[in-house]
Amino acid sequence: MEFPQQQKPAGDGKIVYPPGVKEITDKISNDEVVKRLKMVVKTYMDMDQDSEEEKQQYLGLALHLASEFFLRNPNKDVRLLVACCLADIFRIYAPEAPYTSHDKLKDIFLFITRQLKGLEDTKSPQFNRYFYLLENLAWVKSYNICFELEDCNEIFIQLFKTLFSVINNSHNQKVQMHMMDLMSSIIMEGDGVTQELLDTILINLIPAHKNLNKQAYDLAKTLLKRTVQTIEACIANFFNQVLVMGKSSVSDLSEHVFDLIQELFAIDPLLLLSVMPQLEFKLKSNDGEERLAVVRLLAKLFGAKDSELATQNRPLWQCFLGRFNDIHVPVRLECVKFASHCLMNHPDLAKDLTEYLKVRSHDPEEAIRHDVIVTIINAGKKDLNLVNDQLLGFVRERTLDKRWRVRKEAMMGLAQLFKKYCLHHEAGKESAQKISWIKDKLLHIYYQNSIDDKLLVEKIFAQYMVPHSLDTEEKMKCLYYLYACLDTNAVKALNEMWKCQNMLRGLVRELLDLHKLPVSEANNTAMFGKLMTIAKNLPDAGKAQDFMKKFNQVLGEDEKLRVQLETLISPTCSCKQAELCVREITRKLTFPKQPTNPFLEMVKFLLERIAPVHIDSEAISALVKLLNKSIEGTADDDEEGVTPDTAIRSGLELLKVLSFTHPTAFHSAETYESLLQCLKMEDDKVAEAAIQIFRNTGQKIETELQQIRSTLIPILHQKAKRGTPHQAKQAVHCIHAIFNNKEVQLAQIFEPLSRSLNADVPEQLITPLVSLGHISMLAPDQFASPMKSIVANFIVKDLLMNDRSTGNKNGKLWTPDDEVSPEVLAKVQAIKLLVRWLMGMKNNQSKSANSTLRLLSAMLVSEGDLTEQKKISKSDMSRLRLAAGGAIMKLAQEPCYHDIITPEQFQLCGLVINDECYQVRQIFAQKLHLALVKLLLPLEYLAVFALCAKDPVKERRAHARQCLLKNITVRREYIKQNPLAHEKLVSLLPEYVVPYMIHLLAHDPDFTKPQEYEQLKDIKECLWFMLEVLMTKNENNSHAFLRKMVENIKQTKDAQCPEDTKANEKLYIVCDVALFVIANKSTACHLESPKDPVLPTKFFLLQDKDFKNDKDYLSAETRQMLLTGKPKTTPVLGAVNKPLTVPGRRIFPKTTTGSDTASNASTNSQLSSAALIKNSNAGTESSESGARENNENPIIKNEDGKKVEAGQNVTPVATTEASPAKRRGRPPKSAVTTTPAVAEKEGGAAAGGGAGRGRKRPADPASDSSAESINIKMSKQQQKDDGTKRQIDLQR
């Protein structure tokens, strides 16, 4: 709009007023001015743009109204009326304004703008006039006149500020619409938006202002949406100045740029079309805090529900994902937190996030690993489909995290998902199936050593897996089907959990019994022992001990508390009673003024573990009813995802376990009637479990349930005579446990069975042998004598000393149980019968034990073929060797028989752990471990594990080491917890295993050439296998004690063959190797020994007082070889016969074998070579564990993972031929791939090479000691020499 050159009023400057309106001057009162102005306003309102005559007529008045008198009038009403007139004047005279002066126009528009503040009060009587003013200005777009003014920006800023300040929730839509029209016209029709004007709009988006005036925020939001095309460039310029150029002074809003970006993006992403690339630049800033701010912003933008930014701007998305690996911890943390919203709002981006969350789930920062779990679990709780299996796998991994906080979050998260989707089925069967592994995984954690983990698993089981808050029937249904669906390890874990809780209940019961006794020193000592054991089963053992002492003190003072606790652990306590007792005990120990009470928390932990919240008589009845339904076929088995047979079998297994921990709950006729039905079922496992339940719980059947008794007895007799071996065993034990006239009952079984024994029908012999063995063990006084003739005439002469059938000559070293010949199964049971008979007698008056031990030794010497007629197959021989070794080990658990076991017999037994058959070694080691860990076997049998160093299978060596660790820990703990154990240190202290180990190794059949390096290396390996575990800590100067013990052995002679010089020399050589290993491992071993060791006289005899053995049996070269695996470097003069070389000319030596190369390789190069070999043989590693050294017919996996026999065409895995070092204990490829024909022709030499008679070694070829070498400390000179040798080797 252009301004006119000149506007002259009509009548030569005289002002014309509308009819009836007198002159308006400063001489009249305000009220009169208002009255006259209202008439003027009415006149202008009625005029339109076409009234040319009136426009000319009232031009003077229009100019007059813009005078200082009106614009600066103090009266509010006057100003409002004048503003209305001026607005109409602009409307009437448009497009040409009657005012020519720029300054005047500026004053007028600033005046009008000031009047718009009156819009704020909608209840004002003048509001309609203010609204009219706004409407008029908006409709005419009067402010557009200002574009021609130089300082129009000031007017617009004032206008925008005014409108944003006055708008409120009392305004209707019309007001907001006119404001919007007024402002949008200025933005859209102008040449651009200045920074100051932009600030007046954007400031309303800042959170602080947004919260103060929501309507102003909405107005700004709508304005930006409407003007997006025009204002986008101005916004881009602003952010470019601040973000890229760093000019924060361009605006007061510079510090709020990220808040503004978030708001603008929410309003319309197009507003930030040019800004997003600038954020990518900021993401790569060197300032960690700046990156953090950008990440926070983008997290909100990408994570917003309807945001499509990730798909529209892939470069920015990829750049943002890169921040998951940021060096700055808070940045990584922010990214992980963002992932939760992203997964919930944008499932399509889960694939992109998965890889980055995988890396962060292994982040070194605990908080980040924790938040990864929270992120995944929160998304999963909202909808399981939002998280893929890989994401759930990350949570699964973190259940084994090193930090308790992370483990706890992972376990609790998985528990919540299980309860929601598997227990409550909130998303159907498909979702439940997707996470069906959770139940098993959570229970597997019970295997962890940490007591915190165990307690949390117990809590999860009680609250999430089988919620104790459910009514009994629903609760037992949960348990019944959960138990049926668990895997084997989870079942074992759950059984162990109940066992531990029951053990703890027993400890508390014993503690309460001690409170009933008179106060005494012995009583206090016993109490202290119980308290320490209880504290070990609670978190934070140190604090737990103090709190348990305090709790014990409170128990002693408060009789009512003791009564409540006795009720809680009573076998008859119901689940409801238990809850009341826990509540009452907690109330008594609560102190209102104490906000946190760690003592009470610890007591709660104890109460949670001992309270029977799941199982009582009512619960057992409910379980039995479910079992009956499964038997009848009326249960919901199929709906729960299990077959009826599985439900019945697992249901009985569950009842069997509970019969150990809650026997009293089974005492009802209804329960026993159901169990009798199970006894009649065809499923052998079901019947066996039912018998065992009767055995555990039926103590009152004879006195209270005569009808059950009369039905049960004939069934037990039938099972003992013609049931399966397991049923027969349980039936005999059941009769012995629950009937008063057990002698009569057992005799009725013994006599017909003993008369019907027939070795010609071995299939019918197994069950009778089992029954007879257990009867003779349970009632030795009654049946020991008649048993002796059966043993002499039938068991030994007729059964064990005769081979009636010819075994299968397929060459296999082991076959499955169902393929073993009945005759061998009968022989195995015959060996067990001998042991049970002796274990029942517990004396050797008749010298029967000596005869039995000689028989078992002969079985081992003959490798299982006692008759040596070669009728028996190799796999059957393996079974008999295992039975014989296990029998000697079982007899050694009884002191009277242990004393008569000779060193030779002990060695034969121990060497079974080096048997050629993998399964024999595996089962024997397991039996050995279980007996040792229960402290049933003498300490000398722990030495047998040293021989496991020769096992060619890595997994077996690792298992043996774990067994050693466990046994040594158990013995040390036992000594700490039992003060009386100090009197028996010789039989308990783990260090005392060393003399037995040295003696055993000195008599190793493979140790034939005492000075040969390879044999000495094997001895060193075996010694180190044990000593490494023993010497982990130097408690009480134990290293010096070990040294002293070995030195003392060197001053004795071998009791097994005291006059044999060679045997004694081998003993001393083993001692020297042991001293060498100890000295190189420990610098403290040369200190003074705390006490003088005691040596077992059964193995070592003292020499004359004058005898002193100070000879060094290991040469310097041998020591060097044992230390580094290679001989000492040859001096210069010693190389006379070596070929001379021209300087600079390289010699290429002939290709050597692996052993030759190994002898020249340095320690480092050997380790590298071992790693190479490991990689090159990766394809064959998996075959080690199953039948690698049962190599007469091994099973090898081909590339498809299918099993094929070695006789078939198998493409061997490519390996490095000229490997410089071999892996210790690994059989050669020729041994692994030997065909049955070749193996049979060679007589199994590859498997048992170097073994003496009566002992078959696994494949154990020459191996490199450094592959799993001892970490031996070397002097600086040795290291220097070694470095020189390495250089020489490299030059070659």
Residue 887 has a pLDDT of: 96
| Closest alpha carbon to 1227 in 1269, 1194, 1274, 1205 | 1194
Q: What is the pTM of this model?
A: 0.73
Residue 498 has a pLDDT of: 94
Q: What stretches of 486-558 show up as alpha helix (H) in DSSP?
A: 488-515, 521-536, 541-557
Give, for 93, the enclosing helix (H) or strand (E). helix 76-93
User: Would you state the structure tokens that stand for residue 442, as one six-digit string?
Assistant: 């959570």
The structure tokens 């002898």 sit at 1159
**Residue 1172, CA distances (Å) to 88, 1222, 1252 in order:** 95, 10, 34
Residue 1022 has a pLDDT of: 94
Instruction: Find out whether 669 and 705 touch, Cβ atoms under 8 Å.
Output: yes
- Given CA atoms 121, 125, 126, 132 in this order, what sign does their dihedral have? positive
Instruction: Find out whether 379 and 387 touch, Cβ atoms under 8 Å.
Output: yes
Q: What does the H/E/C string look like for 949-969?
A: HHCCCHHHHHHHHHHHHHHHH
Question: Residue 629 contacts by C-beta under 8 Å, 6 or more apart in sequence?
Answer: 635
Residue 1086 has a pLDDT of: 76
d(CA 476, CA 473): 5
d(CA 309, CA 294): 15
What is the secondary structure of 219-264 as a DSSP string? HHHHHHHHTHHHHHHHHHHHHIIIIIS--GGG-TTGGGHHHHHHHH
Question: In residues, how long is the chain?
Answer: 1292
**Residue 104, CA distances (Å) to 12, 65, 115, 492, 634 in order:** 22, 12, 17, 95, 98
Instruction: Find out whether 910 and 947 touch, Cβ atoms under 8 Å.
Output: yes
**Residue 126, CA distances (Å) to 37, 41, 121, 139, 159 in order:** 14, 14, 9, 20, 20
pLDDT tens string 358-400? 999 999 999 999 999 999 999 999 988 888 899 999 999 999 9
| Closest alpha carbon to 1020 in 1038, 998, 1047 | 998
Instruction: Find out whether 1270 and 1081 touch, Cβ atoms under 8 Å.
Output: yes
d(CA 313, CA 384): 28
What is the secondary structure of 1078-1131 as a DSSP string? HHHH-SSTTS--SS-----TTTEEE--TT-------S-HHHHHHHHHSSPPPPP
Burial class (CB in 10 A: 0-12, 13-18, 19+), 284: exposed
Q: Which residues pair with 1052 in a beta bridge?
A: 1102
Distance of CA 1003 to the CA centre of its chain: 45
Residue 237 has a pLDDT of: 84
What is the secondary structure of 435-502 as a DSSP string? TTHHHHHHHHGGGSS-HHHHHHHHHHIIIIIS-TTS-HHHHHHHHHHHHHHS-HHHHHHHHHHHHHHH
Amino acid at 716: L
Instruction: Find out whether 551 and 586 touch, Cβ atoms under 8 Å.
Output: no
pLDDT tens string 464-490? 999 999 999 999 999 999 999 999 999
The structure tokens 């759950």 sit at 494
Instruction: Find out whether 86 and 108 touch, Cβ atoms under 8 Å.
Output: yes
Instruction: Find out whether 996 and 938 touch, Cβ atoms under 8 Å.
Output: no
Q: 541-548: which pairs have CB atoms within 8 A and are 24 or more residues apart?
A: 541/451, 543/598, 543/602, 544/602, 547/598, 547/599, 547/602, 547/603, 548/602, 548/606
d(CA 752, CA 759): 16
**Residue 113, CA distances (Å) to 87, 157, 172, 633 in order:** 11, 10, 20, 88
Burial class (CB in 10 A: 0-12, 13-18, 19+), 724: middle
Residues of the chain with pLDDT below 50 are 1-12, 1130-1256, 1259-1292
**Residue 834, CA distances (Å) to 44, 765, 1194 in order:** 128, 15, 34
- The tally of CA atoms less than 13 A away on the side-chain side of residue 1017 is 23
User: Would you state the structure tokens that stand for residue 1085, as one six-digit string?
Assistant: 């071993």
Cis ω on the peptide bond leading into residue 95 (within 30° of 0)?
yes
Residue 934 has a pLDDT of: 93
d(CA 501, CA 608): 9
d(CA 575, CA 1143): 91
d(CA 861, CA 47): 131
Residue 698 has a pLDDT of: 87
Question: Residue 813 contacts by C-beta under 8 Å, 6 or more apart in sequence?
Answer: 874, 875, 878, 916, 917, 918, 919, 1187, 1190, 1192, 1247
Number of CB atoms found within 10 A of residue 1283's CB? 11
